[in-house]
Amino acid sequence: MRAEGERTAVVEAARRMVDSGLVINTSGNVSVRVGGTIAITPSRVPYETMTPADVCLVDIASGEQADGALLPSSELPLHLAVYGATDAGAVVHTHSHFATVLSTLVDRLPAIHYQVADLGGEVEVAPYATFGTDELARVTTRALAGRNAALMRNHGVTAIGPDILRALARAFTVEWIASVYWHARVLGTPTLLDGAEIERVAARQADFASRRKGRKP
């Protein structure tokens, strides 16, 4: 089977999404870059029974299916647009609870916690567009410019990363920060971090990452 490792990783990530409550039923979708193609979850297949063979391979440039018998996710246009506009190695799209709630109330998820730095700063909310459309792909990709995650109005979250684990981790981060912000707003007016502090945090995160890479086992 082509790209067996990547297809297996897609299934594992999809199951983590549903097990953790980031999605319900068959909502949400996951993909990973495999050279000039992507491995993406199929449409309307329960994550509990999904197998690596169910995962579809789609050519990034043409959008044509390269392997797999099932229909790719309805959000294929979104995934293809993100890969075309960024160097992302993986894309995770969720309908997580607090992030979706806030997508109906705010224009951006503010810097209430320093971990927002890993998302590229405040998370923008893309305007609403019908699911599975080129318009949704366009507005979400625009909201991702310079960022690693975006909220989607009345819809959910899209997070990206160099690999599927990092993209999934960022989807978790968005939901956690959204939960913190929601609860803080219920209790009062939360303090927020300014752009200068987020830049300092991002610099420290980058420094620690480079030091980890430089360490010998």
Q: pLDDT tens digits for 30-41? A: 999 999 999 999
Task: Find the mean pLDDT for residues 143-160.
Answer: 99
**Could you give the 3-state DSSP secondary structure of residue 135?**
helix
- Cβ-contact 140, 126 below 8 angstroms: yes
- Specify the CATH number for the domain of residue 176: 3.40.225.10
Count of domains observed in the chain: 1
Confidence of residue 216 (pLDDT cuts 50, 70, 90): very low
Task: Find the mean pLDDT for residues 136-144.
Answer: 99
Q: Which residues carry out catalysis?
A: 75
Task: Find the mean pLDDT for residues 118-127.
Answer: 98
Residue 211's pLDDT is 83
Per-residue pLDDT at 123 exceeds 90: yes
Residue 217's pLDDT is 45
Residue 208's pLDDT is 87
Q: What angle do CA 24, 10, 121 make, to 5 degrees?
A: 75
Name the residue with tokens 């893309």. 126
**Could you give the 3-state DSSP secondary structure of residue 155?**
coil
- Closest by CA to 153, choosing from 194, 105, 85, 189, is 105
Residue 38's pLDDT is 99
- Reported pTM: 0.95
What is the rounded average pLDDT for all residues in the chain? 97
Task: Find the mean pLDDT for residues 61-69.
Answer: 97
Residue 209's pLDDT is 84
Residue 215's pLDDT is 62
Cα separation, 139 vs 144, in Å, equals 9
Task: Find the mean pLDDT for residues 142-169.
Answer: 99
Cα separation, 152 vs 130, in Å, equals 11
208: exposed, middle or buried (Cβ count in 10 Å: 0-12, 13-18, 19+): exposed
**Could you give the 3-state DSSP secondary structure of residue 33?**
strand
Domain of 88 in residue numbering reads as: 4-214
